[in-house]
Structure 1
Amino acid sequence: MTTPGYIPGACNIGRAEVRLRWLVGWAGLVGAVALWGYFVWAGSPRPLRLWVGGPALMAALGFLQARRNFCVNYGLGGVAGFDAKAGRTERVEEEEARALDRRTSWRIIANSALIAATAAVIAYLAP
């Protein structure tokens, strides 16, 4: 791959893609806070508050991908996206680079899941 800016395991998306991930992160955060607020306002049973983990996962995935300039879906799929328009990708040809991208993708997914689980437990325990 000859795409400028691509660094195996470290950077596989450009500005347009990063901007999209920031939007996803903010949408997930707003959704998590709104859902938690609704559950508290409605007096919902505490176990129901664990659903806050869903939008919290979306927020964590969005923010971590944006911060790292790395898309987990692209990393798992062996592509990179540096076009001026989001969604246009180019295949990563080198197997070593694809392996590094997969490893980074799984780390971001694991960190996001941990953040989401923490948010869900906090929502459960909060008064």
Structure 2
Amino acid sequence: MTKAAVYQPGVCNIGPAEIRKRRMSGWVGLAIAVVFLAVVFALGWAASWRLLVALPIFLSAQGFLQAAFHFCVGFASRGLYNFGELGSEETVYEAEFRKKDQRKALLITVLAFAIAAAVAVVAALIPVG
């Protein structure tokens, strides 16, 4: 078993099956964002509407970041980890481990929000014409 394939508080709380699931949600969010922007620009919608791309981009960034960090934000908030099959979560009982997990979850969420905000602002600033 590799070092990354075991629970490490604040570092790694998901294994290969969960990582694949997070990566897939990243691709789904990205696809939704691309389709949304294609429609918005094709129809010439106002810049304020283009800001809505932040929602699927946030989903995408969360998915890709969780996959890259081998860390699930939702599991951290519920005090869980999973290195087995999907649906076979285990509980984190140590309070200090839960705190470390929650700090990592917050970092991932802040990074995803920053990415979503940056993409939305760029989308809003692109001139339509």
- 1:48-98 CA-partner distances (Å, limit 9, x unpaired): 000100000000000000000000000111110111x21220001111111
Q: Secondary structure of the equivalent of 1:100?
A: helix
Q: Is the 8 A contact 1:9 1:102 kept in 2?
A: yes
AA paired with 2:53? V
Higher mean Cα deviation, 28-37 or 63-72?
28-37
Q: Which residue in 1 is equivalent to 2:11?
A: 10
Q: Is the 8 A contact 1:78 1:98 kept in 2?
A: yes
Normalising by structure 1, report the TM-score. Answer: 0.94
C-alpha distance in 2 between matches for 1:126 and 1:40: 9
Q: Is the 8 A contact 1:25 1:62 kept in 2?
A: yes
Q: Which residue in 2 is equivalent to 1:29?
A: 30
Offset at 1:33? 1.2
State whether structure 2 residue 43 is matched by structure 1 residue 42. Answer: yes
AA paired with 1:114? A
C-alpha distance in 1 between matches for 2:93 and 2:68: 25
AA paired with 2:121? V
Offset at 1:123? 0.8
C-alpha distance in 2 between matches for 1:112 and 1:86: 24
Q: Secondary structure of the equivalent of 1:31?
A: helix
Offset at 1:46? 1.1
Q: Which residue in 2 is equivalent to 1:107?
A: 107
State whether structure 2 residue 79 is matched by structure 1 residue 78. Answer: yes
Identical pairs, percent: 41
Q: Which residue in 2 is equivalent to 1:68?
A: 69
AA paired with 1:23? M
Gaps (5+ residues) in structure 1?
none
Gaps (5+ residues) in structure 2?
none
- 1:15-36 CA-partner distances (Å, limit 9, x unpaired): 0000000000011111111111
